[in-house]
């Protein structure tokens, strides 16, 4: 007989290892068959967590030779202590067991939730008041152990389960109540069940593209849009299966009557950032078969899970990959991506109440029924971890915080500092609404407000400038209170916003009124805007104003206002923000709160681009002007204080004089004139000037040379320069 064969037979006899397979069976896996592992083909091991046993007795187990009960050890069930995790090894030569009880000190937790690797998954959840925390993994209960405080986490329960668990369903039971994982990366639609995910399987095809460059945060031009609104109409030219979806946002080559739509439209427009209304898993519109259901998504259910309504495929890996593909294709198009986040409240208390009520404030600050308490360190840490996860896993470029005003400014700043430390090269944009849901707040003086945001200057966080918005357009939801855009404002109200709302003194700790219009210590701290998804969109505000003042809705004067309002935004210092569709003269038929309205109210109709080509070209021209001239984008308080001066030429005319060369512009000096009065002759400073923008007309200006005087039209932005 062959010598090699003889030696193999000897090995088989000595080890008894014909199939090299041994299986754990016991109460932790409901007496199923879990394959054990070996390093030496003699000792076969597994780690299991035992709870209180089953209906036939306490916690116990056997090891099954073939997985079919033909041969198993020991003869009687091996009983162990309840609520304990053991590493169990069997010597298959002697059939002797060794058991080592695990200690919470042995569990290393880098992040809460389900942290996957090919050899096992570590589960962890914060529930400080609880005594009974159970993991249900694929139908099997595992008692979780209180883990040592570590990595900044306190009050946590943890457990590691061996094996490749990708795709396995799980949830937690806390004091008997089933709860979802606050850190869950994927979820079964409409269930409190999460899915273990190996996120390395979800990369976009070809890997991540290079991120679009951004030299300074003030170089940003933000465009806010809702995923469904952007492409749901057939006029978008997007493939039928991708309309209203992540992939529809970035489908190339789409047109309406030969004009670009979708992502090609945004490239053509020239914006630098797209800000997406919530794209995480929200609670409303749960029935995917109901394709008419609509919601903005400000009702969070799973903070870290992509919304399934925006995915073409319901496969878990594909859902993630489609969102990553959208971000990646935007990057390829030269556009960064900002995510709208809603950490200020949840859809209902049920999201966290059975985990710990410490997630919530005693008083509803959001106006939605509950509000999150980020003054609790582990709640603040959850928000920080979620932000970091989205940046790491989905390669995002910033966040817009809904109702950031319910948070303390130092918490807001701490998140910003942490994220910028972790991602120092990204030039992240982090900004939010500096108000709450109209609630009384005993911590008012500590919250994110215009008067406190300067204290977080080193965190690179900012706020929406409501003062500037109201100075330009007046009231939000009716036709009254027309501002500077309607020839009814006052130049002094425009003055501060046009200079990036910088403080009178560059002292972030000087106490000022919480709603002072001069609040910033850096121009990146002010997000300048006229309209957003909330309230009347600009066109509807204009029509409401026209109704009050008996102006013909078809009047060209109203079209001038559509340009003039954002013309001022695009030529002011700070970061400009545009509501998606404003460049097309979008309307919502007078609906000032369309969060659950139909597509007929909300959708972008791409015929608007053809019908309002002059409006579109004006926006495109002003965006191009801003992108090309850093004189309109000063980067510090000192630069604006030294190089940007404003002159209230009259109560209806504001003139901004900019030393553009100081910010490396190829224009040495720029004059920006906002005229909300009648046409008039403006005496120019000495020298030869060139007209870049005038008369509400993208074809006007054309760099024509002027001296001495220039006729300035009303309801228009005029821009002149000297080389």
Least confident interval from 89-98, 391-400, 526-535, 612-621: 89-98
In the structure, what pLDDT confidence band is assigned to residue 697 with cuts at 50, 70 and 90?
confident
In the structure, what pLDDT confidence band is assigned to residue 268 with cuts at 50, 70 and 90?
very high
Q: Helices (DSSP H) in 629-723: which residue ranges?
A: 637-643
Q: Are residues 84 and 143 in the same domain?
A: no
Q: Residue 452: its pLDDT value, please?
A: 98
Q: Are residues 229 and 119 in the same domain?
A: no
Q: Is residue 444 flagged as an active site residue? A: no
Q: Is residue 129 flagged as an active site residue? A: no
Report which DSSP code applies to 246. H
Q: Is residue 247 part of a domain?
A: yes
Asked if residue 6 has pLDDT above 80, the reply is no
* Cα–Cα dist 346/370, whole Å: 7
> What domain range is 62 assigned to?
20-97
Average pLDDT in the 544-562 region? Answer: 97
Q: Which of 579, 598, 631 is a domain's end point?
A: 631
Least confident interval from 92-106, 310-324, 330-344: 92-106
Average pLDDT in the 688-692 region? Answer: 97
Asked if residue 100 has pLDDT above 90, the reply is no
Average pLDDT in the 510-533 region? Answer: 98
For residue 659, give the CATH number of its domain.
2.60.40.1180
* Contact by Cβ (8 Å): 498, 489: no
Least confident interval from 92-106, 543-557, 621-635: 92-106
* Contact by Cβ (8 Å): 718, 675: yes
Q: How far is CA 574 from CA 446, 490, 567, in A?
A: 24, 20, 14
Asked if residue 15 has pLDDT above 50, the reply is no
Among 96-105, 141-150, 258-267, top mean pLDDT goes to 258-267
Q: Are residues 82 and 115 in the same domain?
A: no
* Contact by Cβ (8 Å): 672, 658: yes
Q: Which of 32, 67, 97 is a domain's end point?
A: 97
- Residue 49 tokens read as 């967590």
Asked if residue 51 has pLDDT above 80, the reply is no
Q: SS3 for 646?
A: strand
Average pLDDT, the chain: 94
Q: SS3 for 707?
A: coil
Catalytic one of 433, 639, 665, 694: 433
> pTM to 2 decimals?
0.89
In the structure, what pLDDT confidence band is assigned to residue 143 with cuts at 50, 70 and 90?
confident
In the structure, what pLDDT confidence band is assigned to residue 103 with cuts at 50, 70 and 90?
low
Residue range 219-259, pLDDT digits in tens: 999 999 999 999 999 999 999 999 999 999 999 999 999 99
Q: Is residue 461 part of a domain?
A: yes
Catalytic one of 219, 281, 340, 402: 402
| Backbone CA torsion sign across 322, 224, 277, 453 | positive
Q: Are residues 627 and 485 in the same domain?
A: yes
Asked if residue 105 has pLDDT above 80, the reply is no
Q: Are residues 493 and 556 in the same domain?
A: yes
* Contact by Cβ (8 Å): 584, 563: no
Asked if residue 9 has pLDDT above 50, the reply is no
Q: Are residues 408 and 514 in the same domain?
A: yes
In terms of Cα–Cα distance, which of 163, 159, 84 is closest to 123? 159
Residue range 363-383, pLDDT digits in tens: 999 999 999 999 999 999 999
For residue 159, give the CATH number of its domain.
2.60.40.10
Residue appearing with tokens 């986490």: 153
Q: Are residues 606 and 694 in the same domain?
A: no
Least confident interval from 157-161, 214-218, 321-325, 647-651: 157-161
* Cα–Cα dist 473/453, whole Å: 24
* Cα–Cα dist 586/137, whole Å: 49
Q: Are residues 590 and 484 in the same domain?
A: yes
Average pLDDT in the 120-130 region? Answer: 95
Counting residues of the chain whose pLDDT is more than 70, the rounded percentage is 97
Element (H, E) at 546: helix 538-548
Residue range 556-600, pLDDT digits in tens: 999 999 999 999 999 999 999 999 999 999 999 999 999 999 999
Q: Is residue 637 part of a domain?
A: no
Q: Are residues 196 and 297 in the same domain?
A: no
Q: Residue 8: its pLDDT value, please?
A: 32
Q: Are residues 571 and 648 in the same domain?
A: no
Average pLDDT in the 406-422 region? Answer: 98
Q: Are residues 69 and 174 in the same domain?
A: no
- The structural domain count of the chain equals 4
Residue range 436-466, pLDDT digits in tens: 999 999 999 999 999 999 999 999 999 999 9
Q: Is residue 214 part of a domain?
A: no
Q: Are residues 553 and 661 in the same domain?
A: no
């Amino acid at each position: 007989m062959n010598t090699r064969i003889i030696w193999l037979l000897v090995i088989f006899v000595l080890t008894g290892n014909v199939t090299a397979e041994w299986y754990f069976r016991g109460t932790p896996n409901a007496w199923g068959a879990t394959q054990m592992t070996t390093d030496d083909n003699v000792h076969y091991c597994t780690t299991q967590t035992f709870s209180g046993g089953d209906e036939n007795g306490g916690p116990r187990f056997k090891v099954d030779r073939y997985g079919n009960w033909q041969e198993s050890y020991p003869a009687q069930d091996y009983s162990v202590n309840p609520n304990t995790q053991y590493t169990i090894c069997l010597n298959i030569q002697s059939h002797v067991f060794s058991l080592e009880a695990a200690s919470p000190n042995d569990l290393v937790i880098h992040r809460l939730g389900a942290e996957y690797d090919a050899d096992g998954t570590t589960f962890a959840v914060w529930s400080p008041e609880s005594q009974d925390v159970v993991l249900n993994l694929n139908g099997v209960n595992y008692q979780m152990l209180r883990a040592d405080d570590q990595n900044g986490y306190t009050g946590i329960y943890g457990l590691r389960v061996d094996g490749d668990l990708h795709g396995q369903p799980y949830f937690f039971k806390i004091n008997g109540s089933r709860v979802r994982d606050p850190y869950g990366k994927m979820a079964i639609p409409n269930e409190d069940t999460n899915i273990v995910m190996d996120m390395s399987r979800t990369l976009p095809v070809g890997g991540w593209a290079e991120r679009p460059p951004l030299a300074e945060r003030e170089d940003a031009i933000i465009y806010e849009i809702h995923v469904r609104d952007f492409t749901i109409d057939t006029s978008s030219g997007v493939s039928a299966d991708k309309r209203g979806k992540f992939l529809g946002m970035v489908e190339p080559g789409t047109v309406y009557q030969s004009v670009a739509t979708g992502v090609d439209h945004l490239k053509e427009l020239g914006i630098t950032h797209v800000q997406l209304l919530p794209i995480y898993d929200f609670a409303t519109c749960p029935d995917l078969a109901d394709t008419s259901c609509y919601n903005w998504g400000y009702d969070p259910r799973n903070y870290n899970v992509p919304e399934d309504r925006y995915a073409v495929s319901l496969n878990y890996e594909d859902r993630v990959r489609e969102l990553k593909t959208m971000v990646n294709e935007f990057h390829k198009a030269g556009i960064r991506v900002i995510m709208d986040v809603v950490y200020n409240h949840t859809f209902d208390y049920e999201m966290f109440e059975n985990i710990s009520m410490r997630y919530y404030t005693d008083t509803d600050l959001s106006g939605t029924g509950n509000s999150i308490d980020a003054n609790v360190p582990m709640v603040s840490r959850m928000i920080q971890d979620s932000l970091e996860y989205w940046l790491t896993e989905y390669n995002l470029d910033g966040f817009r915080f809904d109702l950031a005003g319910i948070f303390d400014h130092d918490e807001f700043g701490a998140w910003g500092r942490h994220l910028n430390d972790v991602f120092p090269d990204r030039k992240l944009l982090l900004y939010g609404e500096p108000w709450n849901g109209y609630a009384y707040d005993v911590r008012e003086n500590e919250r994110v407000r215009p008067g406190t945001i300067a204290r977080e200057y080193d965190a690179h966080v900012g706020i929406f400038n409501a003062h500037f918005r109201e100075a330009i357009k007046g009231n939000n939801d009716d036709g009254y209170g027309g501002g500077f855009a309607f020839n009814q404002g006052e130049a002094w109200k425009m003055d501060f916003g046009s200079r990036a709302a910088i403080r009178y003194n560059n002292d972030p700790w000087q106490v000022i009124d919480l709603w002072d219009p001069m609040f910033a210590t850096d121009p990146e701290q002010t997000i300048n805007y006229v309209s957003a998804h909330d309230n009347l969109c600009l066109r509807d505000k204009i029509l409401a104003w026209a109704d009050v003042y008996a102006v013909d809705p078809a009047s060209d004067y109203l079209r001038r206002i559509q340009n003039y309002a954002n013309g001022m935004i695009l030529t002011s210092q700070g970061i400009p923000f545009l509501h998606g569709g404003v460049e097309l003269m979008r309307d919502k038929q007078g609906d000032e709160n369309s969060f659950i309205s139909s597509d007929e109210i909300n959708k972008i109709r791409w015929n608007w681009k053809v019908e309002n080509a002059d409006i579109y070209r004006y926006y495109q021209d002003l965006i191009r002007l801003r992108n090309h001239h850093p004189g309109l984008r000063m980067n510090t308080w000192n630069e604006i204080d030294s190089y940007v001066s404003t002159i209230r030429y009259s109560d209806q005319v504001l003139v901004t004089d900019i030393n553009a060369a100081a910010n490396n512009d190829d224009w040495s000096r720029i004059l920006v004139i906002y005229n909300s009065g009648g046409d008039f002759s403006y005496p120019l400073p000495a020298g030869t000037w060139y007209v870049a923008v005038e008369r509400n007309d993208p074809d006007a200006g054309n760099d024509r040379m002027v001296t001495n005087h220039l006729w300035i039209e009303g309801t228009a932005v005029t821009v002149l320069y000297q080389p």
